[in-house]
C-alpha cells in the first residue's frame, strides 16, 4: 500500500486529524528515549523479518521461528483492482516501486480483499485483479526482484486480521472519521461492518510481512498510526517475557513499520478541474472509492488518463480538458491551476526538469501545447500497453508469476501468524 516517485494524490484520512485519533497505548509519538525505556522495561527488542515456516496453524514452543537477518530492508505496498489504473496510480505508486525493488526486499500485491468493501461486480473482480497484476509487470515491476501476488491468495491476511481484531479497542475504530460520517449520512443499514474494520485488515497487510517501511506521501504519515499502535499494543500484551514463558523466542512479535516518504514531486490533478486531485487507490487510499461511491461523487473517466486508454481517447481527453484564457504557459500561478497541472503532467511524462519545461513551453498557446502533451502521453504509454497485451495473452506466465509471489509471501506470512498464535497462547497443532 503508496505514493511514490512522486506524485502524491489526495487521500481521505483514517482519522479527521492526528489529534482525533488518540491511542492510549504506547503511541509512536513517544520520544526516542521514552520508547527505548518502554521497550527495555517490557523486553521488546526489535526483530528481523521472518522468512520461513510450514503452516499458518498454531505452533508449539519447538516451532518458534528465529529468522535470519535479511540483507535488505523490506517494503510492502499494494493497489486495489479498480479496473482502470491511471496516471495517478502510475506516478503515485507503481513507478516508484520499480525503483524500490532494486534497493529493498519488496512485496507488491493486488488488494482484492479491500475491493469487496466497495459496491462491486463479482464477475469482474478476478478480471480486474489479473489486469492490475499485468499492469504492474508492464510498468516494470520485475518478479525476479519483487514478490507480486494477489492478497486473497495469502490467507494469512484475513487470519491475522482476526487475531489483531481481538486486540483492537473498539474506541480506536469508532473514532475513524469515514465510518462516523458515512454511518451518519447513509444510516447503519447501508454501511457494512468492513467500513469499520477495514483499518485492521490494512494493519494486517503491513505487519504480516514484518515490514520495515511502507511507502506514503509526506502528508499521509498519519495513515500508519493505527498500524504502529496495534504493533506496539500486541508486542506489549503478548510479547517480551510473556511470550518467552510460553516457550517462544521472546522480544517483539511485530516490527513497528516506518513511513517511506518519496521525494516531493508534482501532483496530478483532474483534467476537468485543476483544483481537484485525482485519487489513486493504494493500500492506504482504496477506501476513498467506497466513500465517493456512497456519496455519489466518484470522478468521471474524463478527469484522468488511464494507462490503457487508446491514443484516440487520450487525444480526445486532452483536447477537451479545462484550460484558461491567460497568455503563455507557466507553473505555480495560483490563478492558473489547470495550467500548472497540465505542465506538471508533461514534466512527469517527458522526464524533463521543471526548468526545461518552462523553457520549451512558456511561449506556446494551448493548441500547440495540447498537441505536444498528447504526443508525449501516447509515446510514453505505448510500450506499457504493448507489454500489457503480451502479458495478458500469456495467461500461463501471469498465473506462474502470481503463484510464485504468493508462495514467497506465504513463507513470511505463515511464520508471523505462527508466532502470533504461540504468543497468544493457542494450542499448537502437529
DSSP characters over 204-220: HHHHTTT-SEEE--GGG
What are the cell numbers at 124?
469482474
36 CB burial (10 A radius; 0-12, 13-18, 19+) = exposed
Answer yes or no: do 135 and 222 share one domain.
yes
Is residue 8 in some structural domain? no
Answer yes or no: do 215 and 346 share one domain.
no
Which residue in the list 95, 175, 182, 317 is annotated as catalytic? 182
Q: What is the CATH number of the domain that holds 388?
A: 1.10.240.10
Q: What is the CATH number of the domain that holds 104?
A: 3.40.50.620
Q: How far is residue 178's CA from residue 206's CA, in Å, rounded to a whole number?
A: 21
Answer yes or no: do 388 and 414 share one domain.
no
* pTM across the whole model: 0.77
- Residue 106 Ramachandran class (φ > 0 left, ψ -120 to 50 alpha, else beta): beta
DSSP H/E element including 76: strand 74-79
Are 112 and 284 a contacting pair, CB within 8 Å? no
Answer yes or no: do 249 and 164 share one domain.
yes
Is residue 68 in some structural domain? no
Answer yes or no: do 309 and 210 share one domain.
no
Can you give the pLDDT at residue 171?
86
Query: What are the per-10-residue average pLDDT scores of the chain (430 residues)?
Result: 32 32 35 36 34 35 52 90 82 89 96 84 93 96 97 97 95 72 62 82 96 79 83 98 96 95 69 66 43 43 91 96 94 94 94 95 96 97 97 96 98 97 93
Answer yes or no: do 249 and 315 share one domain.
no
Is residue 131 in some structural domain? yes
Q: Is 182 a catalytic residue?
A: yes
Is residue 48 in some structural domain? no
Answer yes or no: do 235 and 320 share one domain.
no
Which residue in the list 95, 175, 255, 277 is annotated as catalytic? 277
Domain that holds residue 387: 299-393
165 CB burial (10 A radius; 0-12, 13-18, 19+) = middle
Peptide bond into 6 cis (omega under 30): yes
Q: How far is residue 396's CA from residue 155's CA, in Å, rounded to a whole number?
A: 22
Can you give the pLDDT at residue 178?
61
Answer yes or no: do 341 and 356 share one domain.
yes
Strand locations in 151-272 (E)? 213-215, 258-260
Is residue 365 in some structural domain? yes
DSSP characters over 246-264: TTS--S-SS---EEEPPPP
Answer yes or no: do 212 and 200 share one domain.
yes
Answer yes or no: do 245 and 177 share one domain.
yes
Answer yes or no: do 149 and 249 share one domain.
yes
Q: Is 277 a catalytic residue?
A: yes
CA R_g for the chain: 23
Query: What's the total number of domains in the chain?
Result: 2
Q: How far is residue 236's CA from residue 48's CA, in Å, rounded to a whole number?
A: 17
CB neighbours of 127 closer than 8 A, spacing ≥ 6? 83
Answer yes or no: do 380 and 398 share one domain.
no
Q: How far is residue 399's CA from residue 383's CA, in Å, rounded to a whole number?
A: 22
Q: How far is residue 55's CA from residue 34's CA, in Å, rounded to a whole number?
A: 37
Amino acid at each position: 500500500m503508496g505514493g511514490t516517485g512522486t506524485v502524491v494524490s489526495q487521500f481521505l484520512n483514517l482519522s479527521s486529524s492526528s489529534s482525533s485519533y488518540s491511542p492510549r497505548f504506547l503511541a509512536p509519538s513517544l520520544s526516542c528515549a521514552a520508547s527505548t525505556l518502554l521497550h527495555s522495561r517490557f523486553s521488546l527488542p526489535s526483530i528481523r523479518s521472518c522468512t520461513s515456516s510450514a503452516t499458518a496453524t498454531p505452533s508449539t514452543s519447538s516451532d518458534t521461528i528465529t529468522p535470519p537477518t535479511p540483507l535488505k530492508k523490506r517494503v510492502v505496498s499494494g493497489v486495489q483492482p479498480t479496473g482502470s489504473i491511471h496516471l495517478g496510480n502510475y506516478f503515485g505508486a507503481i513507478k516508484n516501486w520499480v525503483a524500490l525493488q532494486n534497493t529493498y526486499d519488496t512485496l507488491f500485491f493486488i488488494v482484492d480483499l479491500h475491493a469487496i468493501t466497495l459496491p462491486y461486480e463479482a464477475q469482474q473482480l478476478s478480471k480486474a485483479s489479473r489486469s492490475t497484476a499485468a499492469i504492474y509487470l508492464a510498468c516494470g515491476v520485475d518478479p525476479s526482484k519483487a514478490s507480486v501476488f494477489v492478497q486473497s491468495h495469502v490467507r494469512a491476511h484475513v487470519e491475522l486480521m482476526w487475531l489483531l481484531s481481538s486486540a483492537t479497542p473498539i474506541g480506536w475504530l469508532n473514532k475513524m472519521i469515514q465510518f462516523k460520517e458515512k454511518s451518519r449520512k447513509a444510516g447503519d443499514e447501508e454501511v457494512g461492518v468492513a467500513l469499520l474494520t477495514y483499518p485492521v485488515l490494512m494493519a494486517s497487510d503491513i505487519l504480516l510481512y514484518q515490514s520495515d517501511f511502507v511507502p506514503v506521501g509526506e502528508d499521509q504519515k498519519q495513515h500508519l498510526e493505527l498500524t504502529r499502535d496495534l504493533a506496539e499494543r500486541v508486542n506489549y500484551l503478548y510479547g517480551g517475557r510473556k511470550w518467552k514463558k510460553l516457550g517462544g523466542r521472546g522480544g517483539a512479535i511485530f516490527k513497528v513499520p516506518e513511513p517511506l516518504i518519496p521525494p516531493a514531486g508534482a501532483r496530478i490533478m483532474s483534467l476537468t478541474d485543476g483544483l481537484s486531485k485525482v485519487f489513486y487507490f493504494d493500500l492506504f487510499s482504496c477506501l476513498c472509492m467506497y466513500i465517493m461511491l456512497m456519496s455519489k461523487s466518484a470522478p468521471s473517466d474524463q478527469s484522468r488518463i488511464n494507462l490503457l486508454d487508446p491514443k484516440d481517447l487520450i487525444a480526445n481527453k486532452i483536447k477537451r480538458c479545462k484550460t484558461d484564457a491567460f497568455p503563455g504557459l507557466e507553473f505555480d500561478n495560483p490563478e492558473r491551476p489547470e495550467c500548472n497541472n497540465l505542465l506538471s503532467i508533461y514534466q512527469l511524462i517527458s522526464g524533463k526538469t521543471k526548468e526545461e519545461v518552462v523553457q520549451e513551453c512558456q511561449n506556446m498557446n494551448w493548441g500547440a501545447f495540447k498537441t505536444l502533451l498528447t504526443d508525449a502521453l501516447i509515446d510514453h504509454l505505448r510500450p506499457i500497453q504493448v507489454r500489457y497485451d503480451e502479458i495478458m495473452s500469456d495467461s500461463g506466465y501471469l498465473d506462474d508469476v502470481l503463484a510464485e509471489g504468493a508462495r514467497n509471501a506465504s513463507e513470511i506470512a505463515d511464520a508471523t501468524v505462527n508466532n502470533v498464535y504461540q504468543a497468544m497462547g493457542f494450542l499448537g497443532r502437529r
